[in-house]
Amino acid sequence: MAAVKRKDPALYTLTAGSIAGAIEAMITYPTEFVKTQLQLQDGTKGAARKGVPAPKGPIDILVTTVRTQGVSAVYRGLSAMVIGNTAKAGVRFFAFDQFKDLLKDSEGKTTGARSVLAGLGAGMTEALLVVTPSETIKTKLIHDGNLAKPQYKGLVHGVQSIVKAEGLGGIYRGVVPVMARQGANSAVRFGVYSTLNDLVKSKLEPGSKMPATYTFGIGAIAGIITVYTTMPLDVVKTKMQGLNARQLYSGVFDCGWKVFKNEGVLSFWSGATPRLARLSMSGGIVFSIYESTMTVLRRIDDDSSPIHQKSTRAESEKSSMANFTLVLLVYAYGSNTAVAHLQEFAHHFVRNQEHVRRRRRASVHPPPEASIKPPVNTPDALFFNYSIITITNASTTTSMVVPITVPVPPATAANIHDLKAALAASTPSVHDGGEMSDNDDIAPSTAAVHIPWSSDSFLDTSDDQPMEPGSFEGPEKLLEIHFAPNMQDVQHIRAPLNGNTPFTNAEGEEERYGLRIIPKAVWEEMLDIVKCKVLHSIHHPTVDAYVLSESSFFVFPHKLILKTCGTTTLLMALPKILEFAQDWCGLLHSPSSDAEMKEEEEQQQQQPYRVFYSRKKFLFPEKQVHVHREWKDEVEFLDRHFNNGSAYTIGKVNGDHWCLYVTAPFLGYPCNSNKEVKGNETAMENFQEEDDTTQGGLFGLPPTRPLSRASSSRSSSASTIDESESDDTPTTTQEADNEDYDQTIEILMTDLDPKAMKKFYHHADKNQPSGSEGGQMVDQQTGLATLFPEAEIDPFLFTPCGYSANALLKQSSASGAGAGKYFTIHVTPEPVCSYASFETNIPVRLSSSKTRRSAKGAAPETVQELVQRVVDIFQPGNLTVTIFTSAKFNASQHQIEKRQFKMLHSLRPIPGFRRTDRILYGLDGYDVIYGHYLAV
């Protein structure tokens, strides 16, 4: 079922519609003038004998008016039209949005007949409130201008004269035909536009954005159809609003009958040609401007959310507004040379990104857009990748997050020096008293673009050279947020707290609760910030799994997992995630209920239950943007949002390593009051084993003491633990099926075998399908389909290469076993940047004396067997394995040591590999082990 989009604020639709209406009126008014002149002429058969001039064509009217009265005469009545059209379009879109909300179906959609009815209601509303008076005044002004001695001296005098002569009812002449015409106009226009818009979107590639030219074309087609279906009503309306209407017609039906009787049926389409010209342009202009304005307003709304404002405010205070964008510098400096450099940069940026798009996942990414306006006396603007930065003056900026790194294009040293001087003059605290060199970086803020001053490595400035091959960043950023300890703690959350429409259940689906009541469309707003799109999804009773254009997204009742690769800006979506969790479900918790606590302070202390963020060392860190460029920046960003986080770099700092950020369990959570949480314990002493690898010791063993079968002299609590005991103490089935038990295994691989990777390319020459169907073929060819046979797999094969899959373990209806268990796989097969990841929370035994594999077609039973199967499929040269397991509350020291030994020995030697690291950490409520292997 389709999800329901969050309703746009009424002010946004009113504002966007008004702007679109004003611009459209100024552009198309001459055609409206000609159309009205044609309709005001006497077309009766006896008119010529009475000395009335014969009807003229549109061109003749335009030429004659300009020749005899001047160009300004063509714009007589424009002011009334612009004012009226501004209000008219604003009311129209506002009313249409309200009627759509009233008429939406059970899925939250307004399609087909419902769109027509919504348009009809919007048209009649605008006719009653705006169109009738503005059209009456416009028509009388144009008609008056045809007289030898015009009565009206302008808009204000004309309105005063009409009201004085005819009363307020005089400006409501023809209200019935106007309501009929506007109702029909909007019904046809919105109905056609909505239908064509949905049709075109269904034909686009998944995740792609509709080009502005398509929107214009759809609007133009809607305008053309509107003209010919509603023209008779427009003719009657114009006749009824003429200067002599009161003398000629007794009412609407009398007017229509006389037009038909005296002028013929074709006269109902008089003025169709200029109206066709106007409405075809009008439809394209109005809908294009409306959609563009709404996009900007929504992004401003995203950037000004309470949680986002809080984080940007804190950062702004910390940096004293030290972080500015390149556009701000240009605006402050006002250099034409600098602007030319920026324009050149925009050109090359678009070309470079088009290379990326053609090379990698061309069916997913929309082409970027970039345009730069030179600094003038009005605010400057820079558009990148559908995001906007608005400069208000030379010293302050209101900005959106722009998810790209912007290198300065080639420029002279003098230009760069002047630009930096302008920045320093506006923000003296930028450099903490130090001088800025030409190679310094400006540190990024939450709402600014990161600018490496002398780097041009991001750009391919050659017209002939393709982009540097192999630059896709496969290693993912992984964010997991727990809002409650388990699913049972959120079962009471069945309806949104904000009153919005929840996720619509599929037929026969169990009732949703917790985070799963939030509609897909709402999550997609968050994913837009990350810069990725939903390609496909599967849904089980306790989890929704979304395949993204860059990796995966899982939503459980009590937690979510977001995993994204490439240069996505995952952490930029954190404020929006927290906002949704609180607004929809009330899942952020405050540690104090002190009645005297200020509301703002209480909001700042609101926290989720637990947060995990991790990533492998990036292959191309210089390609990352904003906070993701360096681990310390990511940690600082997370620390601004969470009060109890700890950051770790596990592995060789000067080699392969894994970064981890974890918060302690939020003790203010009400369900946590009776549970003891062990403190962080880090086992990091080094020792040597038979394979000559560096490993982590336990509980204070001296660094020189080897841990082996002969090592029996330990503390009393651990003296009975040896390797054989740990092997004979596997994870039990009961523990695995317990919801409070959590085990997550990640296998991260690089330097993949090129022959094995051929299966992850889309072979169009062999008529291989892409997308879900192509992904299913890959599953069968590689053996991924049989890795966990009981799982439902949702794969996706990208064009020209790349693969992603989510899988959910089928849940037993009787016992509930398998609930919320998943695995996810992502593959970047290009040789220079090859990478694959496998992650699962399906429990397997940590260690066992069993050495043989499970039966063919059966799921792996141990960590060792699972790792071996994955390695056999991808054949990596470099391998990292991490295992998280939840610790039992109130466990004894002996039990803790026993389980940690099991974890330590779960990462055994792998045939064909040399283990270089094995490190164990004891965290609050969890233990994690890290292992690194190199092929030999």
Residue-level pLDDT at 695 = 41
What residue type is assigned to position 930 of the chain? Y
- Domains of the chain by residue range: 18-301, 306-452, 473-671, 685-701+729-936
Residue-level pLDDT at 660 = 96
Residue-level pLDDT at 882 = 96
pLDDT tens-digit readout, 387-410: 333 333 333 333 333 333 333 333
Q: Give 82's pLDDT tier (boundaries 50, 70, 90).
A: confident
Instruction: Tell me if 18-301 shares its fold with 685-701+729-936.
Output: no
Neighbours of 296 (CB within 10 A): 18
Residue-level pLDDT at 457 = 28
Q: Residue 142 above 60 pLDDT?
A: yes
Residue-level pLDDT at 411 = 38
Residue-level pLDDT at 510 = 81
Q: Residue 619 above 70 pLDDT?
A: yes
Question: Token pair 């990352």 is at which residue?
Answer: 624
Q: Give 706's pLDDT tier (boundaries 50, 70, 90).
A: very low
Q: What is the mean pLDDT of residues 831-836?
A: 91
Neighbours of 254 (CB within 10 A): 12
Residue-level pLDDT at 537 = 95
Q: What is the mean pLDDT of residues 169-186?
A: 75
Q: Under DSSP, is residue 564 helix (H, G, I), strand (E, B) or coil?
A: strand
DSSP 462-491: -SSSPPPSS----SPEEEEEESSSSGGGGT
pLDDT tens-digit readout, 533-576: 999 999 999 999 999 999 999 999 999 999 999 989 999 999 99
| Gap between the Cα atoms of 514 and 487, Å rounded | 8
Q: Identify which has the larger pLDDT, 110 or 384.
A: 110
Q: Calculate the CA 361 to chain-centre distance.
A: 17
Lowest mean pLDDT among 171-175, 190-194, 519-523, 713-717: 713-717
Q: Identify which has the larger pLDDT, 224 or 610.
A: 610
The overall pTM is greater than 0.75? no
Q: Residue 161 above 50 pLDDT?
A: yes
Residue-level pLDDT at 454 = 28
Residue 923 tokens read as 């965290």
Percentage of the chain with pLDDT > 90? 29
pLDDT tens-digit readout, 266-288: 778 776 666 666 666 666 677 77
CATH number of 18-301: 1.50.40.10
Residue-level pLDDT at 41 = 66
| Gap between the Cα atoms of 304 and 307, Å rounded | 8
135-138, Cβ contacts within 8 angstroms, sequence gap of 24 or more: 135/84, 135/174, 135/178, 135/237, 135/241, 136/162, 136/170, 136/171, 136/172, 136/173, 136/174, 136/241, 137/77, 137/80, 137/84, 137/162, 137/171, 138/32, 138/36, 138/77, 138/80, 138/81, 138/84
Neighbours of 743 (CB within 10 A): 21
pLDDT tens-digit readout, 86-109: 887 788 788 888 887 788 765 566
Q: Give 848's pLDDT tier (boundaries 50, 70, 90).
A: low
Q: Residue 880 above 90 pLDDT?
A: yes
Residue-level pLDDT at 42 = 61
* Residue spans of alpha helices (H) in 204-319: 212-240, 245-248, 252-263, 272-303, 306-319
Residue-level pLDDT at 552 = 97
pLDDT tens-digit readout, 803-828: 999 999 987 655 566 788 999 999 99
Q: Identify which has the larger pLDDT, 524 or 392.
A: 524
Specify the CATH number for 473-671; select among 3.60.90.10, 2.40.30.60, 3.10.105.10, 3.40.50.300.
Answer: 3.60.90.10
What is the sign of the dihedral through the CA atoms of 579, 584, 588 and 593? positive
pLDDT, averaged across the chain: 71
Q: What is the mean pLDDT of residues 41-56?
A: 54
Q: Residue 346 above 50 pLDDT?
A: no
CATH number of 685-701+729-936: 3.60.90.10
Q: Residue 667 above 70 pLDDT?
A: no
Neighbours of 675 (CB within 10 A): 14
Measured CA angle at 612 (ends 609, 616), to 5 deg: 175
Q: Residue 609 above 70 pLDDT?
A: yes
| Gap between the Cα atoms of 709 and 727, Å rounded | 13
Q: Residue 687 above 60 pLDDT?
A: no
- Asked whether the beta carbons of 616 and 626 are under 8 A apart, the reply is no
Q: What is the mean pLDDT of residues 222-229?
A: 77
Residue-level pLDDT at 362 = 36
- Asked whether the beta carbons of 797 and 775 are under 8 A apart, the reply is yes
Residue 725 tokens read as 């005991």
Q: Residue 623 above 70 pLDDT?
A: yes
Q: Residue 748 above 80 pLDDT?
A: yes
